[in-house]
């Protein structure tokens, strides 16, 4: 016997807006049906300083009705991202930035319409004349990593000139490198896998864009200079010094602790006065501190 559609699917059919339509949504259009919130109200919340979904809810109650954002959440989040991205792009350009690295919203890890990705970058591009760098997310970051079809479309945007290639998987890194440079010979691919920078340089890279450079910049630069000169013996020596630190910061369990470990390393080096983190991230335990400090000692010896 045929089964009817779930109630949530039936309700979703009444929500005619889709994230890819955000540009064309008139101000008077109701985005949140439950709370009767219009596009104009969401825009006003952004202009008043709302920077994330929780702040948007405080200003407008969008997503706080019976559906709890299941119907309007993706559209509202895309409006928010477009507004914040536009405002910050213009501010960075005014402050003297030479280019912008455009990150995807964290919500995309759960899934997104490919049109949202193109819209997100086009909106930022429209707000600034600066060149843009894509962020290629790790393959383990859910749906956040861009597939080949999406990368093709993004590479078609004139202002998009480079990618921080953070697939964190060597085969995917090479696939994306080959795709993007085949589409545009001048497209810059910068390795972003701190544990396998040497591998990225061997395969091909225009440089690197890694957070580990905040901790040991001289070593990261030395690795690039050796690889760029074709001195693979010297490059391997740099890699051997860098690798344990990359593992201690990025790979060791539990996951998601890179920021905490980087802050501890910077504090240990005297570069920042305080390693504390915002809740709910806990401080490093004794074992984590010991591993980071030992790897840091080897990297700076």
Q: Would you name the residues annotated as active-site residues?
A: 135, 164
Identify whether 105 is preceded by a cis peptide bond (ω within 30 of 0): no
| SS3 assignment, position 59 | helix
Query: In the beta sheet, which residues pair with residue 163?
Result: 134, 189
Spatial separation of the C-alpha atoms in residues 59 and 57, rounded to whole Å: 5
| 255, 288 Cβ separation under 8 angstroms | no
Q: How far apart are CA 278 and CA 283, in angstroms?
A: 10
CA distance 236 to 258: 24
163 vs 100, 149, 169, 287, CA distance in Å?
Answer: 11, 15, 15, 35
Residue in 198, 202, 206 with CA at minimum distance from that of residue 180: 206
- Cα→Cα distances 186→102, 147, 162, 189, 202, Å: 19, 20, 9, 9, 19
Reference 77, options 49, 50, 47; nearest CA is 50
DSSP state of 132: E
DSSP β-ladder status, 37-38 and 100-102:
unpaired
| Sign of the dihedral through C-alpha 40, 45, 48, 50 | negative
Longest Cα–Cα distance of the chain, Å, equals: 72
């Amino acid at each position: 016997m045929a089964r009817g559609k779930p109630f949530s699917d039936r309700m979703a059919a009444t929500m005619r807006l889709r994230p890819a339509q955000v540009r064309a949504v008139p101000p008077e259009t109701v985005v949140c049906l439950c709370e009767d919130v219009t596009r104009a109200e969401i825009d006003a919340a952004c202009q008043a300083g709302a920077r994330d979904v929780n702040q948007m809810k405080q200003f407008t109650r969008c997503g706080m009705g019976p559906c709890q954002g299941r119907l309007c959440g993706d559209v509202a989040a895309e409006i928010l991202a477009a507004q914040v991205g536009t405002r910050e792009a213009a501010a960075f350009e005014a402050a003297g930035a030479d280019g912008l690295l455009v990150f995807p919203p964290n919500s995309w890890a759960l899934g997104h319409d490919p049109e949202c990705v193109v819209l997100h970058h086009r909106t930022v591009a429209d707000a600034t004349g600066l060149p843009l760098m894509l962020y290629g997310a790790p393959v383990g970051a859910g749906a956040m990593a861009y597939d080949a079809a999406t990368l093709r479309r993004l590479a078609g945007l004139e202002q998009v000139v480079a990618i921080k290639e953070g697939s964190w998987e060597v085969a995917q890194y090479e696939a994306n490198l080959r795709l993007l440079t085949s589409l545009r010979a001048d497209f810059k691919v910068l390795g972003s896998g701190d544990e396998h920078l040497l591998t990225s340089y061997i395969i091909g890279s225009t440089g690197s864009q890694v957070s580990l450079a905040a901790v040991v910049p001289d070593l990261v630069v030395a690795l690039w200079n050796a690889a760029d000169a074709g001195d693979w013996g010297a490059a391997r020596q740099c890699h051997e010094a860098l690798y344990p630190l990359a593992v201690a910061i990025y790979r060791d369990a539990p996951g998601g602790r890179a920021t905490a470990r980087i802050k501890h390393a910077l504090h240990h080096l005297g570069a920042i006065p305080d390693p504390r983190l915002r809740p709910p991230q806990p401080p490093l335990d004794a074992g984590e501190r010991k591993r980071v400090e030992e790897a840091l000692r080897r990297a700076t010896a």
